[in-house]
């Protein structure tokens, strides 16, 4: 393993050829000798969080539906990766434990159970969250090889980057966090 990468972000470099990951920022949620799992944080879908909550029947009263639509009508769902694209994840900042909450690092938690969506629909869920569909996965050693091939840079996940930065600005902010400007990067790999 290159180093403990869980809780950090991967920034796609210009040498990334896969269109799904071009210019992407991926939060690494799991990484060990058996493989890796991450969530793309900067690709939104044309679906609002309200649409998902309403489709699941979680906003079933007129009052609940109206409040949820006002609160989440322009909060977008993220396309987090090409694997299992109907599987949902809620990435949140508050240390609220639900049926299936996993700590990513001190300021980031990941929940996959329906109870967090029920709380969101009722206005009781975490204030800072992202609703993501799908995930990115790598087999054993695959991510390390992609890093050796210059496809990814390793950066820092902060609550500001994850929750407060518009999707289109996340790559630039994460790159600045490690002292990189996009213009400094090349598609060529140097060998000494």
Express each pLDDT in 35-66 by its tens digit. Answer: 999 999 999 998 999 999 999 999 886 667 87
What's the pLDDT at 3?
A: 55
Average pLDDT of the segment spanning 20-41: 95
Q: Could you tell me whether strands 76-79 and 129-139 are parallel, antiparallel, or unpaired per DSSP bridges?
A: parallel
What's the pLDDT at 26?
A: 98
Q: Which domains does the chain have, with CATH numbers?
A: 8-182 (3.40.1740.10)
**142-166 tens-digit pLDDT:** 999 999 999 999 999 999 999 999 9
Average pLDDT of the segment spanning 172-179: 94
What's the pLDDT at 137?
A: 96
What's the pLDDT at 67?
A: 82
What is the torsion angle, in degrees rounded to the nearest 10, for the CA atoms of residue 148, residue 139, residue 158 and residue 45? 110
What's the pLDDT at 68?
A: 82
CA dist 12 and 18 (Å) reads: 10
What's the pLDDT at 40?
A: 98
- The average confidence (pLDDT) of the chain is 89
pLDDT higher for 61 or 6? 6
**68-108 tens-digit pLDDT:** 888 888 899 999 999 999 999 999 997 778 889 999 988 89
What's the pLDDT at 191?
A: 47
């Amino acid at each position: 393993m290159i180093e403990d990468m869980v809780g950090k972000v991967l920034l796609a470099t210009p040498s990334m050829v896969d269109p799904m990951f071009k210019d992407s920022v991926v939060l690494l949620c799991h990484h060990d000798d058996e493989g890796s799992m991450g969530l793309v944080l900067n690709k939104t879908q044309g679906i609002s969080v309200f649409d998902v909550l309403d489709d699941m029947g979680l906003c079933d009263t007129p009052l609940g539906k109206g409040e949820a639509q006002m609160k989440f009508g322009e909060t977008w769902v993220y396309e987090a990766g090409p694997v299992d694209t109907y599987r949902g994840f809620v990435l949140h900042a508050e240390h609220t434990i639900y049926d299936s909450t996993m700590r990513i690092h001190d300021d980031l938690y990941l929940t996959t159970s329906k109870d967090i969506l029920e709380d969101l629909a009722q206005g009781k869920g975490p204030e800072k969250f992202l609703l993501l569909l799908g995930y990115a996965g790598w087999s054993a050693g695959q991510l390390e090889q992609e890093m050796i091939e210059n496809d990814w840079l390793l950066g820092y996940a902060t609550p500001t980057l994850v929750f407060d930065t518009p999707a289109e600005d996340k790559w630039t902010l994460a790159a600045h966090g490690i002292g990189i400007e996009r213009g400094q990067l090349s598609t060529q790999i140097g060998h000494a």
